Chain A
Amino acid sequence: MQLWELTMCQARELLDRREITSAELTQAFLDRIGLVEKRVRAFLTVAGQQALEQASEADRRLGAGERTPVLGIPLALKDVLCTRGLPTTCGSRILENFVPPYDATVVEWLRADGAVFLGKTNMDEFAMGSSTEHSAFGPTRNPWDLERIPGGSSGGSAAAVAAQECLAALGSDTGGSIRQPAACCGIVGMKPTYGRVSRYGLVAFASSLDQIGPMTKDVRDCALLLGAIAGHDPRDSTSVPLARPDYTKALNGELEGLRVGYLEEEEGVEPDVSRALGEALGVLESLGARLVPVKLPHMPYALPSYYLVAPAEASSNLARYDGVKYGFRCGEEGGLLEMYCCSRSKGFGQEVKRRIMLGTYALSAGYYDAYYRKACQVRTLLVGDFRQAFKLCDVIVSPTAPSTAFRLGERLQDPIQMYLSDYFTIPVNMAGLPALSVPCGLDGKGLPIGLQIIGAHFQEERILQVAYGFEQATGHHLRRPRL
């Protein structure tokens, strides 16, 4: 077995027993990146030298008897997370030369725990997209089929894990940006409860929806990495002051008597995805779970409501890119206003401008009530739907995405088709709930399908418990793409 084939937990044991060193492990991943990255293009920055320095420091700490979940573990970070001294571009020209003077809280914590950062991964510009094609630096390819998208916006992180260019990665999820690429690339991805993980240093897209989460090869790794990043941070006033549990304790494989809710009506789902969902429900039932049909009557309105709320928040958040304090600047000779307009128009890509325009319109005088306020009211109804549903069940399962990975370019000309990729994931963000995507088989073309497991607020352990039971019973997570 090659070192890059290990899971994070397997590597953890070997490091702790001093059978391998972090330096060897890190070098194995740098070699692997050298071998496959030309085809996959998951990374925007590979920080080989820094990674090897971090690895040898980790080896020193391991030698001194220190143990943490991530000590000496080579990880990849989505390029939306601020990393001190390492470029953070958000997949945008406007931040092409931005080098953050500080670490995001999750990065700071992982760094303090001795993690090794291999580099920063590609993404749709400012996390706006479902295919990673909206990156200003070119698309990432799906390791299962290089002519297809890896999903998005955390497509670089998903592809890097699937192509085994890192042990695990972090992504961010505003409307499905961790779960949908995880599904497309056949890995595990989790969006924690809003407030579970600090957003400090996560470049803001839509602040009431954004959340950072783990992207891993299996559920156990997901539990381990979530435990390393969850917790209260005074620098994010929306982070919740709850103790950080040991999520690995939830992995007992017990599903007896657990109530699993499922949606009876699902429109626009590919037949292979429906079939996989049906099989997954059968597996859960055979493990002792009780299946409960649930209704989310306002679910069809989640998508239109999201595409008003998220762009509205984005238009406000992205107002900071004005060419004054950091980022791309042009048009100085025409005066201040010209400088603002030139910097933003040349710095932002098409999708980002489309969303800024949409959000600005939804918030503008005369349209606020008809669009933004209306969307927020629908959000209330959606939150209520979930509250009702969770009276009947412990978790809700659905497909993660209506289809498997589509071809590069296939949905670029049709924004609505692209937005529909997130049909099942968006309602979860609107309600602030935790959810995970776990592999549940392949379609007729040999592409991975994801099963989404949604929990009530702060019920990450329940989700991990179900996902682990499912994973152990099926073994779908053991499949890897041939590269």
Chain B
Amino acid sequence: MIISPEDVEHVAKLARLSLEEGELERLTVELNSILTYMDQLRQVDTQAVEPTTHAMELFNVLRDDQVRPSMGVEEVLANAPRRFGDSFQVPRVIE
């Protein structure tokens, strides 16, 4: 077993997912099967190989720091699940 149920639980916590009844067992089986498949990557010698995170060459793109029109408050808040005045409202964080 590559990934244990305890690992799966830990990863779920990192990903801010709560697992329902039976989901932990199912995900453990599925992730193990997928990671076993990934194991074939070990056959590839990558010792002196630089990693590629992007297939095209990337350059910094800079622009002048000018004030430009942006989206209005009402538009920004239009999809808010809950708002308070001109703010997004979330449950109390500090007791």
Contacts and interface: CB of A to CB of B under 8 A. Distances in A.
Contact-residue size bin, chain B (C-beta under 8 Å from the other chain): 35 or more
Interface string A228-245: 000000100110100000
B79 A381 contact: no
Interface residues of A, number: 69
Contacts of A383: 52, 55
A97 B79 CA distance: 8
B14 interface: yes
Contacts of A325: 79-80, 88
Given A238-B58, A339-B91, A378-B46, A364 B52 contact: no
A194 B55 contact: yes
B20 interface: yes
B81 interface: yes
Given A341-B17, A416-B37, A101 B76 contact: yes
A323 B81 contact: yes
Contact of B38 (A98, A334, A371): A371
Interface stretch (A159-167, A354-362, A444-452): A354-362
A238 B3 CA distance: 36
Contacts of A364: 11, 14
B78 A101 contact: yes
Nearest to A315: B15
A378 B44 contact: yes
B81 A301 contact: no
B62 to A, nearest CB: 10
Contacts of A348: 17
Contacts of A194: 55-56
B25 interface: no
Given A307-B34, A375-B41, A340 B52 contact: no
A332 B27 contact: no
A208 B35 CA distance: 22
A357 B8 contact: yes
Given A308-B38, A361-B11, A99 B88 contact: no
Interface in A293-316: 298, 300-301, 304-305, 307-308, 315
B93 A336 contact: yes
A97 B78 CA distance: 11
A354 B81 CA distance: 26
B5 to A, nearest CB: 13
B1 interface: no
Given A345-B20, A361-B31, A415-B34, A336 B90 contact: yes
Given A322-B16, A353-B17, A415-B34, A208 B91 contact: no
A378 B50 CA distance: 9
A380 B91 contact: no
A174 B95 CA distance: 44
Contacts of A377: 44, 46, 49-52
Given A101-B71, A307-B34, A329-B81, 16 more contacts: A102-B71, A238-B58, A315-B15, A332-B82, A336-B93, A337-B16, A340-B16, A344-B16, A357-B12, A357-B15, A357-B17, A361-B11, A371-B38, A379-B51, A433-B55, A457-B56
8 contacts: A101-B71, A301-B43, A307-B37, A324-B81, A354-B34, A364-B14, A376-B52, A377-B49
